[in-house]
Amino acid sequence: MLQYLYNMSNPAISYTRITRVQDTLVTTTEDALAAEEPLEIWLVYGQQHCRKQQSITVTMRTPGRDAELATGFLYTEGIIKSAADIADISAGSDKSNIIRITLHETVVPSLGTTSRNFFSTASCGVCGKTDIASIYAPVTGQQPETAAASWHSSLILQLPEVLRQQQQVFEDTGGLHAAALFDQQGQLVLLREDIGRHNAVDKVIGAALQQQDFVPDRYILLLSGRAGFELIQKAAVAGIRLIAAVGAPSSMAVRIAAERDITLIGFLREQRFNIYTGEKRIVF
């Protein structure tokens, strides 16, 4: 039987014994793995005298920063309108893998597309949706840009190396995606890693929402892998106007970016990138 030893100081990493084969040399050693555990998100809402509890989703994620993940998920799914809707966040015991989000009495969550308990794998951010219309999260009340934003191409070219230097868990395991927010000076503001790319984005957005001075169109969202539709949609809900991905965008990602007036950059690596939408924000 395989035995996994969890790193108590970093729940994102576990270790296992492996047999390593290199040419004719066979050795037994220890290997670091990206931890993967289910997380069930419960929502508590309604008037105090008739509180309701509902299981919203079970998602496979890398343990750690679960409150940020749950906050970001509820927000990017359009269930809540802001982090201020949340009255309390409580987690179960270390091994329960359950987190409860309690809303203020006056908050009515938008559960039209979440009247299901669905399972989301680490690779899928829209698993469990019951029809085509439900994959689109509402983008309501989006504020106009605070000013005409512009970003120098030379600054953008530097970002992947900064991200890679800060991806500590990736360096240890090679198995995590990252999402990061950079300001207009190219300073790394927030970085979150997860085995699911959609979870990494939810975590970084959830963390940003907890900062009162967060102005979304003043930041670049950098993705360590490809740019899929669900990631662009999450950024659109958050009001982020510039997204750069180390990997390729999908056709639907480009379409959503164009519809939402988002600047989308792909293949940002090796001192080059492609602009798919919103070139107006890039200065050469």
- The three-state secondary structure class of 198 is helix
Annotated catalytic residue 127? no
Cβ(12)–Cβ(64) under 8 Å? Answer: yes
Among residues 124, 162, 252, 275, the one annotated as catalytic is 124
CA atoms within 13 A on the CB side of 176: 30
Backbone angles phi, psi at 235, to 5 degrees: -65, -35
Burial 220-251 (b: 16+ CB within 10 A, else e): bbbbbbbbbbbbbbbbbbbbbbbbbbbbebbe
Measured CA to CA in angstroms, residue 26 lies from 15, 20, 32 at distances of 19, 6, 18
Eight-class DSSP state of 249: B
Residues with a catalytic annotation lie at 124
